[in-house]
Amino acid sequence: MEPSSPAVFADSAAPGRASAPGREEALSRLRLRPLLAWVIIPLGGLVLAALAAPFIYSALLELLPKADVPFSRVYNRAAMLIAALLLLLLRDPLGWRGLPGLLVARSGSGAVCQIVAGFLAALLGVGIAVGAALVMGWLALAGSSYEFVAGRTATALVGGLVVAFLEESFFRGLMFVSLAASLGTLRAAIASSGAYALVHLLVSDPALGRQGYSVGAGLAYLGNAVARQIEPASLLPLCGLFLCGLVLALSVRRSGALFLAIGLHAGWVFSFQVLRHATRPLGAIPGHSYLATHHYLVGTTWAWVGIFLGGIFVLSWWFWAERRPVAELLGAGLPRIARKGV
């Protein structure tokens, strides 16, 4: 079952509408629409939230003087709401009609089976890498109590599944697919993976923005919050997150659905969250930013090997589960919306 292509792509290929030069010019404009939309959505959400958040916060304090709500929370909620509204307004060039098709299991294995396979592949890849890190003396067990680790394990499992579904629907289901229609698969994978990594720079800081509210308070907060993450030590975790995005995009490209990517993503979130509490690095963490500390593990070379292995394992399972020639499987991919630009 394949989703129908949005009208904007279908119309661009219609014969006899214009001369050849006219068609090329129209196609160029149509290919730019998803690119412009993906620039407008994040920048518009951040900038408009920076302008609106101080007024929202002031009104909140007037209505609820005793409310202990940090400015960062107001800014984050405003940015998410504005970005969601922009996403809704710009839905036509973003390929929303293709997203339901990516949530249908086109292969012989069912959706749940693919999610479980992706999850287990992620655990296996990271597990092998962790074993190597323990043997090489890069990592050690933290000695945390069973109750402490068990409680966070349950939270990491549920949180990983929720985060994986939301982020895969957005970054791979919408961004990757719509950009692939304009840029081709490789450049779309690089662009969407880069956006996925860079969004982790937007870490809220409850300590910022509590005083001196003005029209520019939101912009000052945004600048300070991002500046806190920009240090050399943040580069390695960003590279690890970028690698995750590439592997996830490849799994969507090959399977034609989001389920393997959701399982992989959830498995990685679960693994690294548990490892943060169950292990400790034997070397010094090189930085102080949230990225360099909270996401330190995903910035290690052994973790990159585990991520790469997880991708190999899940695609190998998919090839086996389909029981079809590999050459034929390599031709399978995204729905028609993205295949036009590949």
Q: Is there a contact between 252 and 334 (Cβ–Cβ < 8 Å)?
A: yes
DSSP for 64-86 reads -TT----HHHHHHHHHHHHHHHH
When computed from its CA atoms, the radius of gyration of the chain, rounded to whole angstroms, is 22
Which among 206, 203, 202 has a CA at the least distance from the CA of 69? Answer: 206
Range with the lowest mean pLDDT among 20-24, 204-208, 226-230, 312-316?
Answer: 20-24
d(CA 244, CA 233): 18
261: pLDDT confidence band, cut at 50, 70 and 90? very high
pLDDT digits (tens, 9 = 90+) for 105-148: 655 568 888 999 999 999 999 999 999 999 998 888 887 666 66
Q: How far apart are CA 225 and CA 245, in angstroms?
A: 23
Q: In degrees rounded to 5, what are phi and psi of residue 141?
A: -70, 140
pLDDT confidence band for 16 (50 / 70 / 90) = very low
Has this prediction a pTM greater than 0.85? no
Take residue 233 and report the two structure tokens written for it: 């030590």
**Cβ 269 vs Cβ 156: under 8 Å:** yes
pLDDT over threshold 80, residue 209: no
Which residue blocks in 199-281 are alpha helix, DSSP H? 217-227, 235-255, 259-278
Mean pLDDT within 247-252 = 94
Alpha carbons 231 and 213: distance in angstroms, whole number: 27
Mean pLDDT of 165-177: 91
Contact (CB, 8 A) for 275 and 138: no
Residue 152, Cβ neighbours under 10 Å: how many? 17
- Six token digits for residue 221: 């907060």
Q: Retrieve residue 69's tokens.
A: 């709500």
Output the six-digit token pair for 73: 């929370």
Can you tell me whether residue 161 is helix, strand or coil? Answer: helix
Q: State the pLDDT at residue 93.
A: 74
User: Cα 75 vs. chain centroid, distance in angstroms?
Assistant: 21
Asked if 114 and 257 touch (Cβ cutoff 8 Å), the reply is yes
The domain limits of the chain are 99-339
Q: Which residues contact 184 (CB under 8 A, 6 or more apart)?
A: 341, 342
Q: What residues have CB less than 8 Å from 205, skipping those under 6 apart?
A: 72, 221, 224, 225, 228
Task: Look over the chain and give the mean of its residue pLDDT values, rounded to a whole number.
Answer: 79
pLDDT of residue 337: 42
Q: Report pLDDT for 14.
A: 38
pLDDT in tens, 264-296: 999 999 999 888 888 888 877 787 888 888 888
